[in-house]
Amino acid sequence: MITLHDVPADALNRLAGLRLGDGPEYASPGDRMILDTTPGISFHEIRADGQLIGAFKLDPHYHERHDFAGPDDIGLRGVLIDVDHRGKGFGAQAMAALPALARARFPTATGLVLTVNVKNPQASAAYLKAGFADDGEIYHGGALGPQHIMRLVLR
């Protein structure tokens, strides 16, 4: 069973061992992810049957850095499933569980928004399966090239 949990600032080191594996880095490995000091950002872990298998960040100020996001949108950033746990459907399950966590943590938020590299169809498929919609816009500010903008309505 997949569960999502807040990670307090004094416990971020437990995410440091999450690894990407070979290939393009569409997210940061855990040891780099935890260095993100973006104001207001929160870190969350993904567990499968109690075992840490991944992490992600939620950014309530995403709209201040990305004009495609609205002030009531929460940015989903840096979704990482450890290399040893990929291909098992955990990413899609985690994203399906995400709206409940986002609604509880950000009661006035109306949506989640993210970008996903156009060369990362596995991630796009997981987000679509979890209810995100690709609105057809392309964000060209990504470090690894163009990215689809995807949204999920929370309320």
Q: Whole-angstrom Cα distance, residue 79 to residue 132?
A: 14
CB 53 within 8 A of CB 95: no
pLDDT in single tens digits along all 155 residues of the chain: 999 999 999 999 999 999 998 766 778 999 999 999 999 999 999 999 999 999 999 999 999 999 999 999 999 999 999 999 998 999 999 999 999 999 999 999 999 999 999 999 989 998 999 999 998 999 999 888 999 999 999 98
Label residue 51 exposed, middle or buried (CB < 10 Å: 0-12, 13-18, 19+): exposed
- Segments forming the whole domain that contains residue 91: 2-153
Q: What is the CATH number of the domain that holds 71?
A: 3.40.630.30
Q: How many domains would you assign to the chain?
A: 1
- Please spell the DSSP secondary structure of 61-125, one letter per residue: TGGGT-TTS-TTEEEEEEEEE-GGGTTSSHHHHHHHHHHHHHHHH-TT--EEEEEEETT-HHHHH
